[in-house]
Amino acid sequence: MPVPKTDILLTQQEIMHRVKDLALQVTRDYRGKKPVLICILKGAVVFLSDFMRYLQLPVEIDFMAVSSYGAAATSSGVIRILKDLEMNIENRDIIIVEDIVDTGLTLNFLRETLLSRAPRSLKIVTLLDKPDCRAVHIKVDYCGFCIPDEFVVGYGLDFNEKYRNLPDIRILLEFKS
Ligand code: 5GP
Give pLDDT tens digits for 30-65. 999 999 999 999 999 999 999 999 999 999 999 999
Domain that holds residue 71: 6-175
What confidence tier does 153 reach under pLDDT thresholds 50, 70, 90? very high
Over range 73-81, report the average pLDDT: 67
**Distance between Cα 173 and ligand 1 center (Å):** 16
Give pLDDT tens digits for 104-132. 999 999 999 999 999 999 999 999 999 99
Domains contained in the chain, number: 1
What confidence score (pLDDT) does residue 31 get? Answer: 98
Phi, psi of 76 (to 5 degrees): -90, -25
Over range 147-174, report the average pLDDT: 96
d(CA 51, CA 18): 10
**Distance between Cα 87 and ligand 1 center (Å):** 25
Confirm or reject: Cβ of 101 under 6 Å from ligand 1.
yes
161 within a domain of the structure (yes/no): yes
Query: Inter-axis angle of helices 45-54 and 12-29, to 10 degrees?
Result: 60
What confidence tier does 11 reach under pLDDT thresholds 50, 70, 90? very high
35 within a domain of the structure (yes/no): yes
> Is 29 a catalytic site residue?
no
Confirm or reject: Cβ of 69 under 6 Å from ligand 1.
yes
121 within a domain of the structure (yes/no): yes
108 within a domain of the structure (yes/no): yes
Q: Indicate the pTM of the whole model.
A: 0.93
Q: Which residues contact 69 (CB under 8 A, 6 or more apart)?
A: 75, 76
d(CA 138, CA 107): 7
Distance (Å) of CA 102 to CA 50, 73, 86, 134: 22, 12, 27, 6
What confidence score (pLDDT) does residue 4 get? Answer: 75
Give DSSP secondary structure letters for the chain.
Answer: -PPPSEEEEE-HHHHHHHHHHHHHHHHHHTTT--PEEEEEETTTHHHHHHHHHH--S--EEEEEEEE---SSSS-----EEEE--SS--TT-EEEEEEEEESSSHHHHHHHHHHHTT--SEEEEEEEEE-GGG-SS----SEEEEE--S--EEBTTB-BTTBSTT-SSEEEE-----
Over range 14-19, report the average pLDDT: 98
What confidence score (pLDDT) does residue 71 get? Answer: 43
What confidence tier does 6 reach under pLDDT thresholds 50, 70, 90? confident
Pocket test for ligand 1, best of 40, 41, 100 (most atoms within 8 A of CB): 100
What confidence score (pLDDT) does residue 55 get? Answer: 98
d(CA 63, CA 42): 9
> The CATH number of the domain where 140 resides is what?
3.40.50.2020
What confidence tier does 175 reach under pLDDT thresholds 50, 70, 90? confident
1 within a domain of the structure (yes/no): no
Average model confidence (pLDDT) across the chain: 93
Selected catalytic residue, list 50, 99, 102, 158:
102
d(CA 175, CA 151): 10
